[in-house]
Structure 1
Amino acid sequence: MTCPTCRPANEPSAAKTSTTNLGPVQVTALNLHPVKSTAIRRVDSAYVGLAGLRGDREWMIVDDAGDMVSAREINQLFTIVADTPQTGGTADLTLSAPGTEPLEISFPYAGRLAPARLFTRPHTQVRYAGPAADRWLAGVLGRDDLHLVWCEDPLQRSLNPQFSRPEDHAVFQDGYPVTLASTTSAALLSDWAGKDLAVQRFRANVVIDGNEAFVEDTWTSVRIGDVPFRVAKAVDRCVMTTIDPVSLDRSKEPIATLAKHRRWDGKTWFAIHLIPDAEGEIHVGDEVTPA
C-alpha cells in the first residue's frame, strides 16, 4: 500500500536508479525555517513536537488583510535570515538581511490577537509582533503593509481530515507538520531535467539519502532515529520551487520536468508530508526505517 496521493498503482514506477551502491537510509540534513518563506537554517539536530520541528515556521508574514505573504509573491523573502535558539540565535527571534541592522524580537505574548489565513484555509488566531517588526520588514522589502505574526497555539490549527487524525495539528507549515525529501530522488529529477535541481528548492525539513529514487512514494510510516511518523500524503509542488534560492531567478524548472514524469491528479509531486506520532530528538546521521 502506498501513501495517499502518492504514485497510483497503475502508474509506471519513477524509481529507475540502481540499488547496487545504496547503503543504509540516513538523514543527511535537517532544516528549519523560523519565519515561513525565509532562508533555510540547517541544524545538526532538532526536537520533534507534535506540531512539527521546534522552531520551524512558528512565525510568518501577513498583509493588512491577514493573508499569508510568501516568497511566491516576494522573492526577496529568501534573503531574510531568521534565527531562534534552535538555530543558534540569542533571542526568541532575530531577523537579519543584507545592508540592514538585525532586529531581535521576543515572543509577543501580549501582542495584538487577530485572525490570519494561510491560502484559503480557515483563519487562525495569531499574535502580531508589533510596529518595530513592521518597520524592519518595510525597510527590507519595500512594502508598508507587511506584518510579522507568531503562532501562539498550534492546537487551533487542525489538518485536512482526509489525511490526518482529529488530534493532529500544525503551526504555519503549508499543510502538515514535517516534510521529507530524498537526495536520490532529486538527483534523478536533475537527470531528467538535464540540469542540477538542488533538493534545497523543495524546502524539506528532513533530507535523506541511501534510498532508491522515489521509493518514499511507497511508504505509509517511517521511523527517524527513535521518533515514529505517519506519512500523510505526497507533496504537490507549487511555483515557489521555480525560484532559485540563491540567485532568486525564476525558471520553468522543476515544475516542467515534474509535469513530464511526476504528474497525476492534475498536480506535480515531489517529497512526502509526515505527521509525528511521538515527540523526541532527531539528528543528522539518524537511520531512517520505512514501513
Structure 2
Amino acid sequence: MKLASIHYYPVKSAAGHDVHEAEVQPWGLAGDRRYLVADERGAVLTARDEPRLLACLPLLDGDTLTLTGPHAEPLRIARASEMPAASAMSTVDVWGTPVELTDCGDDAARWLSELAGRPVRLKWLDDPRRRPVDPAYGTPADRVSLADAYPLLLTSNASLAQLNDWIAEGAVERGEEVPAPLPMRRFRPNVVIDDVGTPFAEDEWKQVRIGEVTFRVTKGCDRCVLTTVDTATYTKGKEPIRTLSVHRKWDGKVWFGINLIPDGPGRIAVGDPVVIL
C-alpha cells in the first residue's frame, strides 16, 4: 500500500488544499484547522449549516492567512505576532470542549459575514496544545487542533470505489439516472491510501505507519450531512448518507474512514509506503 494524496484545511469547513508532502505534528498536519468560523452566539459554524463556507479558499503562507472567495477581494489576515492580545480571546465550545480562541478582527468578520450571509467571526487557535482528545480514545497527552475530534482522518480509494458502485447500483434499482461518482473531497480526509486490497479493510486496523510516522487508530469516522454537500454548487443531496445507511450503518450512525493519532512528529509524502502494524 502507498500514500495516494495528502490534504489539509486551514479553516474548519472551508476549502482545502492538496499537497505533495506535509509535516505531521502531535495535533494534526501542520496548518490544518487552526482557524474556525463562529456565529453571533459564539458557537462553531460549519458547512453542515452554511455550505457557502466551502467557497472560501484560505491560503496559508507561513503564519499569514489570506482568504479568497467569489464575493470579495482577497483578505490578508494579520500574522500571528500581530494578532490581538489576550483580551480579544473568547471561549468557543468545540463539540463539547470549551477552547480559548483568539478573534481575528473586524475585517475578517466582515469578509466572512458577507460570504455566509449572517454575522460571523473568524477565530484562531494560537496554542494547539490547548484542546485534548476524547479521553475514551486517547491518552491524557494527546491533543487535536480544531478538527472534529482527532488529529488526522484516513480514507482509502478502494472504499470510495466500492461506495460509488453501491450508489450506482441503488440508482439502477430505483430506476434513476446513475450519478457521477462522488469525489473523495466530499469526505475531507487528510490522507488517502491506494492499493488497499479490500474495501473498508481499514476498519480493522489498529496501528499504521505512513512513511516515517506511526499512528494509532482511535475509531471509525461517523459521517454527517456535510458529506452530502456538492462542493461545486454548495447544495445538499441525499448521497452518500442514503447509501451508507444501507451498507455501513451501525450504532445508529453511518461510517466512512478512520481517525488517527500520531505517536510522534515527522514528515509524510505522496508515494510513501503504508504498513499495517
What is the TM-score of this pair, normalised by structure 2? Answer: 0.91
CA distance in 2, matches of 1:61, 1:249: 20
Displacement of 1:181 in angstroms is: 0.6
Question: Residue 160 of structure 1: SS of its match in structure 2?
Answer: coil
SS of the equivalent of 1:231 reads strand
Q: Secondary structure at the match of 1:133?
A: helix
Q: Which amino acid aligns with 2:134?
A: N
The Cα of 1:141 is off from its aligned counterpart by 2.2
Q: 1:150 aligned to 2:124?
A: yes
Is 1:208 the counterpart of 2:193? The answer is yes
What root-mean-square deviation, in Å, do the aligned CA atoms of Structure 1 and Structure 2 show? 1.2
User: In structure 2, what residue type is equivalent to 1:138?
Assistant: S
Shift of 1:118: 1.8
1:83 aligned to which of 59, 70, 84:
59
Q: Give the structure 1 partner of residue 101 of structure 2.
A: 126
Q: Which runs of 4+ in 1 moved over 4 A?
A: none
**Does 1:186 find its partner at 2:186?**
no
Structure-2 residue corresponding to 1:261: 247
Distance in 1 (alpha carbons) for counterparts of 2:55 and 2:142: 32
Give CA-to-partner distance per residue, 1:257-291, whole Å, 9 cap, x none: 11111111111000000000010111111111112
Consecutive unaligned residues in structure 1, runs of 5 or more:
1-24
Amino acid at match of 1:150: W
Q: Which residue of 2 aligns with 1:236?
A: 222
Post-superposition offset of 1:122: 2.4
TM-score, normalising length: structure 1: 0.87
Quote the residue 1:159 is aligned against. Answer: 133
Tell me, yes or no, if the aligned pair for 2:84 and 2:103 is still in contact at 8 Å.
no
Distance of 1:199 and 1:140 partners within structure 2: 25
In structure 1, give the amino acid aligned to 2:222. Answer: D
Aligned positions of 1:261-280 closer than 5 A: 261-280=247-266
> Which among 198, 215, 222 is matched to residue 208 of structure 2?
222
The residue aligned with 1:13 is none
Counterpart of 1:78 in 2: which secondary structure? helix
Question: What's 1:34 paired with?
Answer: 10
Structure 1 window deviating more from structure 2 (234-243 vs 133-142): it is 133-142
Letter in 2 for 1:65: R
Name 1:135's counterpart in structure 2. Answer: 110
The count of residues paired between Structure 1 and Structure 2 equals 261
Secondary structure of the residue that 1:71 maps to in structure 2? coil
